[in-house]
Structure 1
């Protein structure tokens, strides 16, 4: 098949780069019903890898399930669900005013809480250098662990950066999803790992998807940082709800389809998540979901080998990207899903390029069979 040849050629190019020890991609074409699974190096479609920030999409699915069950609303103050969290008191103080009790599930999911990021301390000028150092420690292979209590202490001690819901932009903060993870644990009275198993893994029949909790677990491929592999199991076991899920390209594809096709929560509720705010160009953030609108000019540097497609339009993508090169994306205008990872902590644009080129290979394969792209009704 031309699609298979094109994608394997693409993966070969990635594999020839010393920054990549392995690449994996799975695709699904909702027009033809055809799926494809591809891998190179030490990653294949069935090899587990860390999905990192894509975990937030799984958290969004769980929150929407709990909403359907009447266990919370998007406008429920989070503290009403974490009444035993003494550290959460005065966690959000801005200009001398305590806004902690105003923080809702919606604020946390949409990155509009105004809390600073515990992981990079980007809310404080006086610790900016420390923040930059901490942000790069994992990429340098320096392992560390932290607890939820330490997350809250760091978040409180460095102060808030905005009032809840203030301003037109989303401010990405890992603290938000650490808190959401604790909220859903409190509601279901189980660990986050058990909840993911019960609410996502078992219903979808997944076998290699789980929350990374044991630092001695060597099943997932260790991420690359530039041209070297880094092992940071203590950190990976600490992320939990803001980046701790392990999956495979094949199973990430199953999850992505289930998310957008109404098999985890009602499809009619998807639009509830599509309350878009600018995050970082060219990405917008809703409630646990990214929307990526890539202009033609931004792709030209990656298309120099393919001048015929130099000005090709990229369809709008919905889903999530992870800092380690993972992606779960859906292009509703053409009905194509792509999931996988380039397993690289540095250079996040590489995952976007990989997903776009894989998506385009699926679309091009249709032309060879004289079929037209399907238009799927979806908010854009």
Structure 2
């Protein structure tokens, strides 16, 4: 017999998948203690179907940074010039005539407070403009070169300011490799995938690895070169079952000491295009109070979403976790809206 709670979640999910925008979807909800679980798929997606994590990959990058800090191998206060060559960095952040490039810290990157522009969305040669029509490789130096052509939005660490930009996490990925002596894929395996016993979660390194397709509106597109290139900011692949294991571990203290969240939960609102989303130390925060929920919500969602429709959030007020994917990259707000509606249904 289905509970009223289950029926509420099913109603939200069904209403979402009735949209012409959604062709495939998977949702998994679990309580923190494991006493409640609800899973539903649509369009052939199931609990073990692989999907692109996209920017949820940033949580994996955050995890590695926090573990390396715990091991005393780096500090969030370190200037990134300690790990990245000055020739590479110089000129990446010139704001109002002053070059802040060599003053950037790991914390600036993790909290999205560097002020660096986002090459994924900004400029006539933005990645988002190109990926609809073509698949292509790019490497770290390509991203650095592109970012240097764009204007930063504010000086690093400006109080109350945050700007979401993939380059912040691309640089963090390079730092992880430098400090750990491992490729990013192997660092993920060592610090996250192997300890959690994940079998279907990985960072693809070649086109021989299985890379899922994604919808752009009604068109199915396949972009293996882009996914392989996205690495630390958005290249990961997982399933609903394994992403649930990860997000519970991330917030539950199984990967690093969760006391660190007291210093990571300093949130700043992101740029207007990101809607209600704020950013803390390596993860998103979505306040559920106020006008965004018609004053019906309580608490917050913490975790991450991805531009291809993926989501992994913890709702502390009800001790619930929401993970899944709506597989649609034409509207990045979809997974946020679904997660918020699920939280409101949890009353």
Rg (Cα) greater in structure: 1
| Offset at residue 349 of structure 1 (A) | 2.8
| Offset at residue 219 of structure 1 (A) | 4.5
For structure 1, the residue ranges without an aligned partner over 5 or more in a row are 122-127, 301-310, 365-380
Aligned residue for 1:244? 235
| Offset at residue 214 of structure 1 (A) | 2.0
Asked if 2 retains the 8 angstrom alpha-carbon contact of 1:51 and 1:247, the reply is yes
Counterparts of 1:18 and 1:217, CA distance in 2: 30
For structure 2, the residue ranges without an aligned partner over 5 or more in a row are none
Matched, 1:355 2:347: no
Asked if 2 retains the 8 angstrom alpha-carbon contact of 1:27 and 1:359, the reply is no
Matched, 1:135 2:128: yes
| Offset at residue 269 of structure 1 (A) | 0.8
Asked if 2 retains the 8 angstrom alpha-carbon contact of 1:184 and 1:192, the reply is yes
Counterparts of 2:105 and 2:51, CA distance in 1: 32
Counterparts of 1:27 and 1:161, CA distance in 2: 37
Counterparts of 2:115 and 2:341, CA distance in 1: 36
Counterparts of 1:32 and 1:205, CA distance in 2: 18
RMSD over aligned Cα, in angstroms? 2.2
Asked if 1 retains the 8 angstrom alpha-carbon contact of 2:296 and 2:344, the reply is no
TM-score, normalization by structure 1: 0.83
Segments ≥4 residues shifted beyond 4 Å = 3-6
Aligned residue for 1:43? 45
Counterparts of 1:325 and 1:58, CA distance in 2: 17
Question: Match for 1:278 among 237, 251, 269?
Answer: 269
Aligned residue for 2:287? 293
Aligned residue for 1:182? 174
Matched, 1:150 2:142: yes
Asked if 2 retains the 8 angstrom alpha-carbon contact of 1:19 and 1:225, the reply is no
Aligned residue for 1:377? none
Q: 1:219 to 1:111 in 2, by over 3 A?
A: closer
Asked if 2 retains the 8 angstrom alpha-carbon contact of 1:7 and 1:38, the reply is no
Aligned residue for 1:261? 252
Asked if 2 retains the 8 angstrom alpha-carbon contact of 1:141 and 1:230, the reply is no
Secondary structure at the aligned position of 1:58 is classed as: helix
Asked if 2 retains the 8 angstrom alpha-carbon contact of 1:21 and 1:42, the reply is no
Question: Match for 1:328 among 312, 327, 347?
Answer: 312
Counterparts of 1:257 and 1:64, CA distance in 2: 16
Deviations 1:190-229 (A, max 9, x none): 1111111111111011111111222343452x11111221
| Offset at residue 164 of structure 1 (A) | 1.2
Secondary structure at the aligned position of 1:210 is classed as: coil
Question: Match for 1:71 among 63, 73, 98?
Answer: 73
Q: 1:219 to 1:149 in 2, by over 3 A?
A: closer
| Offset at residue 316 of structure 1 (A) | 1.1
Asked if 2 retains the 8 angstrom alpha-carbon contact of 1:274 and 1:289, the reply is no
Q: 1:114 to 1:355 in 2, by over 3 A?
A: closer
Matched residue pairs, number?
A: 342
Asked if 1 retains the 8 angstrom alpha-carbon contact of 2:28 and 2:323, the reply is yes
| Offset at residue 167 of structure 1 (A) | 4.5
Bigger shift: 352-361 or 324-333? Answer: 352-361
Question: Match for 2:21 among 19, 22, 27?
Answer: 19
| Offset at residue 233 of structure 1 (A) | 1.4
TM-score, normalization by structure 2: 0.91
